Amino acid sequence: MRSRRERSTSQPERLATYLDRLSQVAGHVDRVVPMQNYTKGLFLPIERKSVEPMAARLAPANVRQMHQSLHHIVAEAAWSDAALLREVRRQVLPAMMRTPPLAAWMVDDTGFPKKGTHSVGVTRQYCGQLGKQENCRVAVSLSLATEQASLPVAYQLYLPEIWAQDQARRNQAGVPKEIRFQTKPEIALEQIRWLLEEDVPRAPVLADAAYGNDNGFRDGLQQLRLEYAVGVQSSTSVWPPGCAPLPAKARGVMGRPPQLLRREERHQPLSVKELALCLSPSDLRRVSWREGTRGTMHSRFAALRVRVAHRDYERRQPREEQWLLIEWPKADKEPTKYWLSNLPASISLRKLVATAKLRWRIERDYEELKQELGLGHFEGRNWRGFHHHASLCIAAYGFLVVERCLFSPASDSPSMRAADLQLRLPRLPPGAKPRGAAD
């Protein structure tokens, strides 16, 4: 809960204070008002949160000038996205953490279907929004979450290799020289290192199998001394509980002593699915983890202590034991989800499940950012505009998070929506309906 003084101020006053603090990173006094106007425009109850319909509602008597101002601040002005997201985090995170502690750092990506080939980062690739391969662009993000709220704090476009190596397309789209091809897990690790440098409170890292399957990603988290609970595919190979790769062979008469671990025909690891299918019904426990819209969320789980087997024959020491969490709903013929986690060996099954399942919050973040705040509505083609628009969408979302934490931090429903804000806007002429306005 916030202080009585904060609660006594009106919502327009709180929004003005929030925007004033954000616009300190604008870099030039002439950018302050346009940055605030663009953020306000993202709250408007209009169907399309692009420059033209926002300008028509923000300044119905002077649409052309407002259009130029909004376009310049998002597509051309050289302010820092990192600085803005830092300021958003500084304002929102204390409100999120007043009652519950930070529970997780959540890694994810989201796709934006896009026609044509000239918009930065667009190529044929898997689009989560459509659930198939399609022409789109994809951005990787990192969010902070408590049990009641969450906020994206880092956001970067994934630049496919075909784009990264095409200098002509890079120049046309304004891709910075320092941007090189990186896989999505590599981008996520870079974002995580940035948060560590910023001294953000640590919490377990959560990610789906697109990241958890990457051994380099898990090893990177381990090297950073971060706890994690990440999804993996059913084909991931592990050593069952109590088993490990064989030690190096005994030293022979000649040559260097063998040092690498080994396997034998009758001593091989199993896939996590094979291991799960060896379980009996008594090995599975019913666990509930949160209240959903249809009641208590629950399923059957098993947690085993295993060692990851990926190429351990190239290692000198076995990998450390960690948790393999298996979800096997009673109505299903086989397990549906698997996670690997280096959370403490003493953790309870309920806490392990609750931590792994907290990642649902990032899905709601994206749902609101896209449907309420127009995250995917940017119509420009360049790198700067894509990131500026996303940063301002996150800034707008941050204010909604603060407002929700103001009076009911324990509420699990998004009680405050963009359309509920009391914005101070000029009156529309009789009969006027700006382009993109809701019916």
Measured in residues, the chain has a length of: 439
pLDDT of 117 reads 83
Task: Give Cβ neighbours of residue 34 (< 8 Å, ≥ 6 apart).
Answer: 69, 70, 72, 73, 77
pLDDT of 430 reads 65
Report how far apart, in Å, the C-alpha atoms of 302 and of each of 16, 170, 260, 360 are. 50, 48, 32, 20
Q: If pLDDT is split at 50, 70 and 90, which confidence band does 439 have?
A: very low
The token pair at 316 is 């000198």
Predicted confidence (pLDDT) per residue in 406-432, tens digit: 865 444 445 667 767 777 777 766 666
Q: If pLDDT is split at 50, 70 and 90, which confidence band does 264 have?
A: confident
182 has pLDDT over 50: yes
438 has pLDDT over 60: no
pLDDT of 428 reads 66
Among 20-24, 189-193, 229-233, 414-418, the range scoring the smallest mean pLDDT is 414-418
Among 66-75, 209-218, 261-270, 378-387, the range scoring the smallest mean pLDDT is 261-270
pLDDT of 116 reads 82
- What is the rounded distance in angstroms from the CA atom of residue 121 to the CA atom of residue 123? 6
User: What type of residue sits at position 34?
Assistant: P
Q: What is the largest CA-CA distance in the chain?
A: 98
pLDDT of 253 reads 59
Q: If pLDDT is split at 50, 70 and 90, which confidence band does 1 have?
A: very low
pLDDT of 22 reads 93
Mean pLDDT (whole number) for 119-142: 91
Q: What is the dihedral of CA 162, 167, 172, 177, to 10 degrees?
A: 100
| Distance spanning both ends of the chain, measured CA to CA | 36
Predicted confidence (pLDDT) per residue in 93-116, tens digit: 999 998 788 999 999 999 999 888
Annotated domain spans of the chain: 4-208+362-420, 225-244+267-358
pLDDT of 3 reads 54
Bridge partners of 143, per DSSP, are 106, 152
Predicted confidence (pLDDT) per residue in 25-73, tens digit: 998 999 999 999 999 999 998 989 999 999 999 999 899 999 999 999 9
* Nearest residue to 126 via CA among 115, 135, 116, 117: 135
Among 4-8, 356-360, 382-386, 410-414, the range scoring the smallest mean pLDDT is 410-414
pLDDT of 252 reads 62
Bridge partners of 326, per DSSP, are 302, 338
User: What type of residue sits at position 240?
Assistant: P
Mean pLDDT (whole number) for 299-326: 93
pLDDT of 131 reads 83
Could you tell me which residue, 439 or 173, shows the higher pLDDT?
A: 173
pLDDT of 412 reads 47
389 has pLDDT over 90: yes
